[in-house]
Structure 1
């Protein structure tokens, strides 16, 4: 534990993390690093000395510093910590503990996700996602999201593919008949519904963006969560949806 404490102390300094990021791209000499990071040469030298003693970096024969294999591998585990620290308040009241383990280990892929701590705003993002989708919209949700039905129908008319995973005991809110689209005519073509015994997460994604909401500490979904637009984060959401899609049961549309 003492060694871990020492390492965490070295990594707790923002300037040292910035140095690691620069050296990960290419080796650099002291003065170049100081200039790039807008630090004094003295400050930079002090950081480099500490990082060298911790085996995070080494100095080459040409005077340029480079990241060690050990330092490079440590960097691989920093994004998950960065994601949690960046969204500390969210994770004081929400949990990822019931995600499949492989996705917890990859949670750093969401480091660029944008937190939305207002459910109304998150639903607005969902509407926008559905409206802008060109190829597909995949939905994993604990509720039918009836407010999106008109947008879903418009997207289906445009040829957008939909995959939907809902709880087995889902109850669709009663709506006036004219507001309830006949999704059955798209069944087997553009609309594929499946059911899970229980849905504990919200994942809504298209080819260009995604929405993710995790449960609160009591296991309830309050639709506070994240908007993801970068390719790595989208790949994480894509894989998570596919995980649940593959274990869900096909159902008929009425």
Structure 2
């Protein structure tokens, strides 16, 4: 059997909804045929047939007590299937948005975003960013997020609470004139001290917008095919999504140039 045939066999086995449900359930712990059929709502004959196929493929194994367990190969396959789960859930989004600026090691972990919430309304995105700003207690991480007038007072309040900020942006990024005016009006010495909590680094280009705190990812959005942004993307308080986004930020932060 060729490598391609093995891959096609594997994809065929996990393409069946009942077999995939069985594999996911066994990922939580071993079960016998009767328990699986009852929990998943299939007949014992169907469950037995699916388990036989999963066992032949090496995804599961049966122990002497009659319990079926997921194998290490099955666990690895299940993790990789989750990447496809996220992609398929949001196939309309990824038809028009590109990930060309995302390192391969992060693309291969896209399944970690599976519990994130899709935002397709700019106003909802803005409100989510405002919420994250209000609730931040430790830090704010920002990649190339555009200026939003309503967030400037919230950013100042966050710095007044001692929240630290890290901001990665392109060299041609410029504050909005309204923001500069508000900054000048606030030049009473307080703002200068608050800005010591903000650290900026520069990159030549960045095909990504990310805004997050220690608690929540407000928005993660990818560019359209022409390089522009519609600010539709993903938001989440899920720990796996948060870790993925924080790791991605750190990846770019370590490679960016400190602003002087």
State the TM-score, normalizing by the size of structure 1.
0.91
Which of 212, 215, 220 is equivalent to 2:223? 215
Cα deviation digits, residues 123-159 of structure 1 (max 9, x gap): 2111111111111111111533343111101111111
* Ranges in structure 2 where 5+ consecutive residues have no aligned partner: none
Deviates more, 1:121-130 or 1:241-250: 241-250
Which of 167, 174, 178 is equivalent to 1:175? 178
Cα deviation digits, residues 169-195 of structure 1 (max 9, x gap): 11222228763355543233x111222
Which of 84, 94, 102 is equivalent to 2:97? 94
Tell me the distance in 1 between the aligned counterparts of 2:135 and 2:97: 29
Does the aligned pair in 2 maintain the 1:146–1:172 contact within 8 Å? no
Alignment of 1:33-48 (within 5 A): 33-48=36-51
> Paired residue for 1:130?
133
Tell me the distance in 1 between the aligned counterparts of 2:135 and 2:249: 19
Cα deviation digits, residues 41-67 of structure 1 (max 9, x gap): 222122112212222112222111111
Tell me the distance in 2 between the aligned counterparts of 1:177 and 1:97: 33
CA spacing shift, 1:194–1:146, aligned 2, 3 Å: farther
Tell me the distance in 1 between the aligned counterparts of 2:254 and 2:82: 28
Q: Which runs of 4+ in 1 moved over 6 A?
A: none
Tell me the distance in 2 between the aligned counterparts of 1:177 and 1:138: 21
Give SS of 1:221's match: coil
Q: Does 1:81 align with 2:84?
A: yes
> Paired residue for 2:248?
240
Tell me the distance in 2 between the aligned counterparts of 1:173 and 1:195: 18
Tell me the distance in 1 between the aligned counterparts of 2:168 and 2:59: 45
Does the aligned pair in 1 maintain the 2:149–2:179 contact within 8 Å? no
RMSD value, Cα:
1.8
> Paired residue for 2:111?
108
Give SS of 1:25's match: coil
Does the aligned pair in 1 maintain the 2:101–2:206 contact within 8 Å? no
Q: Does 1:67 align with 2:70?
A: yes
Which of 123, 134, 154 is equivalent to 2:157? 154
Q: Does 1:201 align with 2:208?
A: yes
State the TM-score, normalizing by the size of structure 2.
0.89
Tell me the distance in 2 between the aligned counterparts of 1:106 and 1:147: 34
CA spacing shift, 1:90–1:144, aligned 2, 3 Å: same
Tell me the distance in 2 between the aligned counterparts of 1:141 and 1:148: 15
Tell me the distance in 1 between the aligned counterparts of 2:236 and 2:8: 33
Which of 223, 228, 232 is equivalent to 1:224? 232
Deviation at 1:79, TM superposition (A): 1.5
Size of the aligned set, in residue pairs, is 251
